[in-house]
Structure 1
Amino acid sequence: MTLFRNNGELFTERRGIIDAIFNFLGKNEHGSRVLRRGRRFGRITKLKLSRWIFLLTALLSIFLTVYGLRMFFQAKMESRFSVPDNLQEDIGLQERKPPDNIVVSDVGNTTKGKRRKHFPCEVGFRESVDDLVEPKNYMNFTSFSLEYVDHEEKKSENDLPKPRFGGHPTLEERENSFYAKNQTLHCGFVKGPPGHPSTGFDVNERDKAYMSSCKVVVSSCIFGSSDFLRRPTSRLISQYSKDNVCFVMFLDDQTLSKLASEGSSPDERGHIGLWKIVVVKNLPYEDMRRTGKVPKFLSHRLFPNSRYSIWLDSKMRLNTDPVLIIEYFLWRRNAEYAISNHYDRHNVWDEVLQNKRLNKYDHTAIDEQFNFYKSDGLPKFDPSNPDNPLPSFVPEGSFIIRTHTPMSNLFSCLWFNEVDRFTSRDQLSFAYTYLKLRRMNPERPFQLYMFKDCERRALVKLFRHRAVPSPAESA
């Protein structure tokens, strides 16, 4: 075997290897051409492969760049109206100073088969609460006297129904309660005959005294540890509101223990942040949703001396001064009750189908309630009808602003009674309650203002609930 020298080292001559390959190919010139062609094809294949890899890398880079820019601008749009989740509430948003004129836009209906992203819109709040004064003629609303059923006596020895928080109103009593007149009606907190235990929603005397002192209230609740505690963004609440508005969060013992385990316990004054914690004993319903309707609808019962109340669901963090909210949605509109429309649905028929589709409640109970309403004249919402009394028959009921007038209090009692009698899905009973009250009192108007959902989103930061409620709950 022949050796040759390369840089001082001896290597076996590679020609011998090549000759062996030639022998394998038959020792002819054709084999030599095949070898050379194979080498040329290998170089071409490697060149094409490197070009394809470069092209794919470039396309991937372009896609990631475009996607990143899209997410960046979307995040910028959302952060304009909301506090990022990873910031403390005291950092919050920079103070907004929109002009006094009202600038709003509706997001419209959701296209079938697609989930639309719903955004907030500008709301023309005043710049400050310093010079706000309640209009002199604001309280010129329908006037009458309301009293409430405090307890129910047994009608006979054989007629002793189990005491209930909502009582046992008859159909005749229910019908008469819709008249805006001096009357005594069922409105929760109904006790049984002497000697029977409490029907629920018990609050200690010290908290009752505090609640009786409130003139303006912002309230919410968490029962069954269903949510985290969302503190109002202190930076965006004026000192005047901090001094004059009661921020009350209703909790049960289970939720209080859960919050304590997470490091959120009331201070010596009973506060967590701006929230005054009020612990409720003996919850009146097994259904936590239905129990949550008590502070939601009956704020005039819980805060008997208050003039105004704002309710927000526990999935929200308040990012707006409550006095500015009252001025904008009540005083400026000459309204005694304000609630937003639903972001997608406007017809109760559609709301019924959606509740069934998502198994929000027992289907038989939903059908019973809906059939009763249809038999009593509940109409379908016609968006083309210019005489609609409301822009929608389905509310987004997580945010409510109220003046505690007789008509507002009556509507709240009537709406609560529907939730107590039928399902806890209050969006099913809103339109029926409002339209029946309006129909039965044509000369006694109820000034309800339904604002746009995008305005609601501008007032709060929205979160998801801690836990998904169990489906197909029964009453």
Structure 2
Amino acid sequence: MEEDDIDEQPWREYLIGLGLGGSEMLPERRGVFGGSDLIKAADHGLLAVRRGRRYGRRRLLFWIFSFAALFSICIATFGFKMFFHAFKILVFMLVPSDTVDNFLLYSFVFHVLGFYPCKVELKDSVEALVEPKPFWNFVKFSLQYVARENIQSHANSINPRFGGHQTLEEREQSFSAVNQTIHCGFVEGFEGLPNTGFDLDKEDKMYMDTCTVVVSSCIFGSSDFLRRPTSKMISQYSKENVCFIMFVDKETLVKLSKEGSIPDEKRLVGLWRIVVVSNLPYEDMRKTGKVPKFLSHRLFPSARYSIWLDSKLRLHTDPMLLIEYFLWRNRAEYAISNHYTRHCVWDEVQQNKRLNKYNHTAIDQQFLFYQSDGLHKFDPSDPNKPLPSYVPEGSVIVRAHTPMSNLFSCLWFNEVDRFTSRDQLSFGYTFLKLKRTNPDKPFVLHMFKDCERRAITKLFHHRSP
């Protein structure tokens, strides 16, 4: 959404989940004038503007008085909790979020509902940043990755897959934080069969091998516009030492070029280095997008830190300040925000089905599998709960490439590869099973508030199909 900073996604999801429809703004009408008609049109236009302003103010006052009356009636009858629910429904029905005339009212209600940024106490500059000496004293073990499957142990798996053909026994063993070789994407086909996908140019791979700190994102299937990081908010140090990588497919590159985002001789558009991916591994573009989202340690083998940014976001905070704030200050090896409204996987499952985010049968199969393997409901009153939420927002991930962080990323990716592309369904299960399997080997995951995510980025709409 480019008109303002408001995140309307929670509104839209909530509205559709209730079976209600939102208003749509009518297309703008434009006329062509000439000669004396231009003067008459100008006078008419000024008069229309004045009338529009008066009408806008009256409409705003009308809704404020309406909400005040509704508030009084509902509080007297049902109490505050019931009123708050009715208030959200009414707003969704009556306030078209993409109409500029309603910006003040929409902003007011938006803040009442609580979807707004909160203060993030970042350092003043990157110059004084020093990585804490004991920071890397996390659980240590060695991970290797399946590069090519043994055809003898997978005699019936003749179709090559990017994620490989992991058996249930191999899947169970992979959750142990021990020296091991596991499936983690990039599994090559059997000898003589085609490559399984996510092919990169040799020059790009050489550049990526040199990166020690990475900010990455992706656009596949022309699903988004290119959001450049806010250059004035990025320090000179980060501009020189952090790799900003935007993965795209050829279709997206053509689309972006037509819109003026043409890479220069260094393959740069602003701070983004455009890396073209050939031979996409999945028909589902969302699932293909999970490759760079989860497997940054595979794509950037020399990287110590990485930050994932969904393409709907624009970064307007220095990445080194984010690493200090979310990782170093919390002595964490992985940081991700909680969801803005949902915290239980049961609720997430129902919302995905209400919004038809994925095939319902596939969602049910995945969910039943997780329940049979010990997934339980989130209890917000439990003082010993391991996380503040079992459902992440997931559009910003800050990672140190430690063994446990890399293992969790592989495990989470394998769940997406095996089941649905809705990674919010598998996050809580994957974390809890990893924790349960390794009771004496902590995985230090910091789940920060979603309002902090809103403070460090600017949210936009995805491109309309």
What's the TM-score bracket when you normalise by the shorter of the two chains? Answer: 0.7 to 0.9
CA shift, 1:156, in A, is: 7.4
Letter paired with 2:351: Q
2:369 corresponds to 1:369: no
Q: 2:304 touches 2:400 (CA, 8 Å); kept in 1?
A: yes
2:172 corresponds to 1:175: yes
Paired residues for 1:331-410 under 5 Å? 331-410=328-407
Map Cα deviations across residues 272-322 of structure 1 (whole Å, 9 max, x no partner): 000000000000000000000000000000000000000000000000000
- 1:463 equivalent in structure 2: 460
Sort the Cα spacing of 1:446 and 1:156 in 2 relative to 1 into closer, same or farther, 3 A: closer
C-alpha distance in 2 between matches for 1:232 and 1:61? 39
Instruction: Find the residue that maps to 1:130 and give its secondary structure.
Output: coil
C-alpha distance in 2 between matches for 1:239 and 1:135? 22
Map Cα deviations across residues 171-220 of structure 1 (whole Å, 9 max, x no partner): 00000000000000000000111111110000011000000000000000
Map Cα deviations across residues 118-137 of structure 1 (whole Å, 9 max, x no partner): 11011000001011010000
Q: 2:154 touches 2:165 (CA, 8 Å); kept in 1?
A: no
CA RMSD in angstroms, aligned pairs only: 2.3
Instruction: Find the residue that maps to 1:418 and give its secondary structure.
Output: helix
- 1:426 equivalent in structure 2: 423
Map Cα deviations across residues 348-372 of structure 1 (whole Å, 9 max, x no partner): 0000000000000000000000000
Instruction: Find the residue that maps to 1:340 and give its secondary structure.
Output: strand
Letter paired with 2:386: P
2:120 corresponds to 1:123: yes
C-alpha distance in 1 between matches for 2:138 and 2:264? 41
- 1:203 equivalent in structure 2: 200
For residue 136 of structure 1, the aligned residue among 125, 129, 133 is 133
2:268 corresponds to 1:275: no
Map Cα deviations across residues 59-109 of structure 1 (whole Å, 9 max, x no partner): x959717939x99xxxxxxxxxxxxxxxxxxxxxxxxxxxxxxxxxxxx9x
- 2:241 equivalent in structure 1: 244
- 1:184 equivalent in structure 2: 181
C-alpha distance in 2 between matches for 1:228 and 1:127? 31
TM-score (norm 1): 0.76
C-alpha distance in 2 between matches for 1:181 and 1:261? 49
Sort the Cα spacing of 1:61 and 1:417 in 2 relative to 1 into closer, same or farther, 3 A: same
Q: 1:335 touches 1:448 (CA, 8 Å); kept in 2?
A: yes
Letter paired with 2:149: E
Letter paired with 2:176: Y
- 2:44 equivalent in structure 1: none
Letter paired with 1:234: S
Unaligned runs of 5+ in 2: 1-49, 65-80, 93-112
Letter paired with 2:144: E
CA shift, 1:440, in A, is: 0.5
Map Cα deviations across residues 396-434 of structure 1 (whole Å, 9 max, x no partner): 011000000000000000000000000000000000000
Letter paired with 2:204: D
Instruction: Find the residue that maps to 1:184 and give its secondary structure.
Output: strand
Sort the Cα spacing of 1:458 and 1:157 in 2 relative to 1 into closer, same or farther, 3 A: closer
C-alpha distance in 1 between matches for 2:161 and 2:124? 47
2:146 corresponds to 1:155: no
Instruction: Find the residue that maps to 1:449 and give its secondary structure.
Output: strand
Q: 1:341 touches 1:452 (CA, 8 Å); kept in 2?
A: yes
- 2:67 equivalent in structure 1: none
Q: 1:153 touches 1:192 (CA, 8 Å); kept in 2?
A: no
Instruction: Find the residue that maps to 1:280 and give its secondary structure.
Output: strand
Sort the Cα spacing of 1:436 and 1:234 in 2 relative to 1 into closer, same or farther, 3 A: same
- 2:60 equivalent in structure 1: 67
CA shift, 1:159, in A, is: 3.0
Letter paired with 1:411: F
Instruction: Find the residue that maps to 1:285 and give its secondary structure.
Output: coil
Letter paired with 1:279: V
For residue 312 of structure 1, the aligned residue among 309, 314, 327 is 309
CA shift, 1:154, in A, is: 1.5
C-alpha distance in 2 between matches for 1:262 and 1:133? 41
- 2:325 equivalent in structure 1: 328
For residue 298 of structure 1, the aligned residue among 286, 295, 298 is 295
2:220 corresponds to 1:227: no
For residue 215 of structure 1, the aligned residue among 207, 212, 217 is 212
C-alpha distance in 2 between matches for 1:342 and 1:181? 31
Map Cα deviations across residues 244-293 of structure 1 (whole Å, 9 max, x no partner): 00000000000000011111110010000000000000000000000000
Paired residues for 1:80-119 under 5 Å? 112=85, 114=88, 116=113, 118-119=115-116
Unaligned runs of 5+ in 1: 1-56, 72-107, 469-475
Paired residues for 1:7-26 under 5 Å? none
C-alpha distance in 2 between matches for 1:388 and 1:372? 22
- 1:284 equivalent in structure 2: 281
Runs of 4+ in 1 over 6 A off after TM superposition: none
Q: 1:310 touches 1:400 (CA, 8 Å); kept in 2?
A: yes
Task: Tell me which structure has the larger Cα radius of gyration.
Answer: 1
C-alpha distance in 1 between matches for 2:166 and 2:341? 34
C-alpha distance in 1 between matches for 2:55 and 2:334? 52
C-alpha distance in 2 between matches for 1:61 and 1:152? 71
Sort the Cα spacing of 1:337 and 1:157 in 2 relative to 1 into closer, same or farther, 3 A: closer
CA shift, 1:152, in A, is: 1.0
C-alpha distance in 1 between matches for 2:156 and 2:350? 39
Q: 2:187 touches 2:196 (CA, 8 Å); kept in 1?
A: yes
- 1:102 equivalent in structure 2: none
Letter paired with 1:420: D
Give the paired residue count.
374
C-alpha distance in 1 between matches for 2:84 and 2:293? 31
Q: 1:138 touches 1:331 (CA, 8 Å); kept in 2?
A: yes
Q: 2:249 touches 2:278 (CA, 8 Å); kept in 1?
A: yes
